[in-house]
């Protein structure tokens, strides 16, 4: 293991501190268990965390408000803790780590009595802390904040995250004669230099070569986006073109990873003349851009260009995540103007009604939104890495600590994975756009309130969107909860078909039809009760991908079949460059590097 030139070794210091902290925790817990066995009263506080007042003070700091614990729940938590701690003490070094937790599933944990005990103790402490968080007496948002913060602390403090306590990492160091430690330090230094934890082998992918490979051409571009048109794969196509609006907080190619899991290629294979917006990664030239700019000069502009290229009055559209929110806003603006330019709309894991935003709600309150508004009052950019980190910590064990352990403690190189390559390819956001979005959607939920918002000079009403809509939600989505996705059905003015897919925000959407994996649910025709649980209770499960349900639905809105075009664009909108284009290749860090010392601060 290499040290710095001054002789200081941060890796050793980290391990020593971790060992000291956890040794103290183990000793304290064992003393507490011994006292319980010796007849200590039930009022003894669970060891290692101080008294109730201390815990309440910690919860107050986490939530920003004073809280109390349910007295009856607190007594039950104490009793259960002392009983389980006593049992743990009786087992002593014979305890086995619970195999249901993959962090401690390796045989090395079972072969190391101290490691096995630390894992069992950790899980006992974690369960107790979460029960205490659940026993907080406060409003729902405060309780959610306490629970979220406690879970973050629990996940970060797992013994598996520290080399001094990770039996599997130690065994690998022995097996490799220290090579895994040296490689782990190299990985750590590499990730410190690049500014984020590596989740995959990024050198294995190249845009346009083995990812985002569906053939097409950029046929239009402005300061905000490029418009890609894909080459038809059928002799005839539907007369109405199909425009996809992806989220601007990510790169569009989540919808075009590999040929066998590309949603965009699937749409082309169904005979649709398909277009997609490829967002520019904002740099200082977009530091003043607003929500209205993105609606007028991007979404509505793209609709008009596609209509002109397709020589049709109306087109079919799809929006994914915040891309769906933006598309819904644009359609409401067009409706307010009395303009019918879209034949149908598909919303994938989209929030139009922000009354159910899941775990993201813990971040949003007046103080936070006001802070962001002040931060970006004079423009500026929100770094994409900040957004990416936030989303990763919504699932920290899967998207943070798993890679900390693998990359640094075990010296492993993560394997190539297209989805994680995309996940790490972040995008910046204009600060004013971001602040507006926070206030008017997440905080005040005005988008679904008729006449409450003025966008692009028009007072908007989602009920005025009177075209057929296909609304999709993922059952296990932690970013757009199924209830939030379903809520759109209550606000749109045209006929709505709601479909629920298995899995989460990404895996639920990117579920190729040909693979026949997972399942989806449909409800009785026209049955859209106010509560999603009522809809789920009446729904029917179908094996395979929801794509097979969506394709025939979209086909009914595609119009007649016409010969596939031989050329991209038209006389006015000529091919500019092959897909995936220039914009998608710019990283968030490269875009931020254009900010000068006199430019907006991020």
Catalytic residue annotation: 321
Where does 64-166 have alpha helices with state H? Answer: 71-91, 107-111, 113-134, 140-156
State the DSSP code for 165.
Answer: T
586 CB burial (10 A radius; 0-12, 13-18, 19+): middle
Element (H, E) at 19: helix 10-37
Coil vs helix vs strand at 100? coil
599 CB burial (10 A radius; 0-12, 13-18, 19+): middle
State the DSSP code for 585.
Answer: G
Query: Bridge-partner residues for 237, per DSSP?
Result: 562
Query: Bridge-partner residues for 274, per DSSP?
Result: 242
Distance, CA of 501 to chain centre:
17
Give the closest residue to 421 by CA, choosing from 106, 579, 199.
Answer: 199
Q: 27: which 2 tokens?
A: 């000793």
Q: Compute φ and ψ for 318, nearest 5 degrees.
A: -145, 140
- Distance in angstroms (rounded) separating the CA atoms of residues 520 and 498: 11
Ordered DSSP codes for 390-451: HHHTTSHIIIIIHHHIIIIIS-PPPPP-HHHHHHTS---EEHHHHHHHIIIIIIT--TTSTT
Scored b (16 or more CB within 10 A) or e, 12-25 reads: eeebeebeeebeeb
Q: 409: which 2 tokens?
A: 């403690």
Contact in structure between 488 and 447 (CB atoms under 8 Å)? no
Scored b (16 or more CB within 10 A) or e, 156-172 reads: ebbbbbbbbbbbbbbbb
488 CB burial (10 A radius; 0-12, 13-18, 19+): buried
Ordered DSSP codes for 204-262: G--BTTTBS---EEEEEE-SSEEEEEEPP-SSEEESS-EEEE--TTS-GGGGSSSGGG-
Query: Bridge-partner residues for 562, per DSSP?
Result: 237
- Distance in angstroms (rounded) separating the CA atoms of residues 526 and 524: 6
Cis peptide before 580 (omega within 30 of 0): yes
Give the closest residue to 267 by CA, choosing from 258, 256, 279.
Answer: 256
């Amino acid at each position: 293991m290499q040290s710095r030139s001054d002789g200081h070794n941060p890796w050793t210091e980290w391990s020593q501190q971790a060992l000291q902290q956890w040794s103290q925790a183990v000793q304290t817990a064992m003393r507490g268990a011994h006292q319980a066995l010796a007849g200590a009263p039930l009022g003894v506080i669970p060891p290692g965390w101080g008294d109730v007042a201390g815990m309440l003070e910690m919860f107050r700091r986490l939530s920003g408000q004073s809280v109390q614990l349910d007295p009856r729940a607190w007594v039950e938590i104490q009793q259960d803790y002392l009983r389980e701690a006593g049992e743990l003490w009786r087992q002593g070094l014979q305890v086995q780590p619970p195999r249901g937790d993959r962090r401690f599933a390796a045989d090395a944990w079972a072969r190391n009595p101290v490691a096995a005990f630390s894992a069992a103790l950790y899980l006992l402490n974690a369960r107790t802390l979460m029960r205490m968080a659940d026993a907080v007496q406060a409003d729902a948002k405060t309780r959610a904040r306490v629970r979220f913060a406690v879970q973050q602390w629990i996940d970060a403090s797992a013994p598996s995250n520290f080399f001094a306590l990770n039996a599997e990492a130690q065994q690998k160091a022995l097996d490799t004669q220290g090579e895994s430690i040296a490689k782990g330090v190299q990985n750590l230094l590499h990730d410190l230099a690049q500014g984020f934890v590596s989740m995959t082998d990024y050198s294995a992918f190249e845009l346009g070569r083995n990812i985002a490979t569906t053939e097409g051409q950029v046929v239009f571009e402005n300061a905000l986006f490029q418009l890609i048109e894909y080459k038809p794969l059928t002799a005839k196509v539907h007369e109405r073109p199909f425009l996809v609006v992806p989220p601007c907080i990510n790169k569009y190619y989540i919808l075009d990873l590999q040929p066998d899991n590309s949603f965009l290629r699937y749409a082309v294979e169904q005979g649709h003349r398909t277009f997609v917006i490829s967002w520019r990664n904002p740099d200082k030239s977009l530091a003043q851009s607003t929500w209205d700019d993105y609606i007028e000069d991007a979404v509505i502009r793209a609709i008009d260009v596609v209509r002109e290229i397709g020589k049709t009055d109306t087109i079919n559209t799809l929006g994914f995540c915040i891309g769906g929110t933006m598309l819904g806003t644009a359609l409401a603006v067009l409706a307010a103007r009395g303009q019918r330019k879209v034949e149908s709309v598909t919303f994938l894991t989209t929030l139009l009604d922000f009354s159910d935003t899941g775990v993201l709600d813990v971040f949003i309150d007046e103080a936070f939104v006001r802070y962001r508004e002040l931060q970006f009052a004079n423009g500026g950019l929100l770094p994409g890495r900040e957004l990416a980190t936030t989303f990763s910590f919504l699932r920290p064990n899967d998207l943070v600590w798993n890679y900390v352990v693998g990359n640094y403690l075990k010296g492993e190189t993560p394997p190539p994975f297209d989805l994680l390559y995309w996940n790490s390819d972040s995008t910046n956001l204009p600060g004013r756009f971001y602040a507006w979005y926070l206030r008017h959607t997440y905080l005040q939920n005005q988008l679904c309130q008729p006449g409450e918002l003025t966008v692009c000079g028009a007072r908007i009403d989602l009920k005025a969107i009177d075209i057929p809509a296909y609304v999709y939600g993922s059952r296990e989505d932690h970013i757009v909860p199924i209830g939030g996705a379903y809520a759109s059905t209550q606000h749109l003015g045209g006929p709505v078909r709601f479909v629920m897919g298995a899995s989460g925000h990404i895996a639920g959407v990117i579920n190729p039809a040909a693979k026949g994996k997972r399942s989806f649910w449909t409800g009785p025709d026209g049955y859209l009760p106010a509560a999603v649980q009522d809809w789920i209770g009446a729904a029917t499960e179908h094996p395979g991908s929801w794509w097979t349900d969506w394709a025939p639905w979209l086909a009914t809105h595609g119009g007649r079949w016409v010969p596939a075009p031989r050329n991209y664009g038209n006389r006015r909108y000529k091919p500019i460059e092959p897909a995936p284009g220039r914009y998608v290749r710019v990283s968030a860090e490269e875009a931020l590097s254009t900010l000068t010392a006199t430019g907006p601060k991020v």
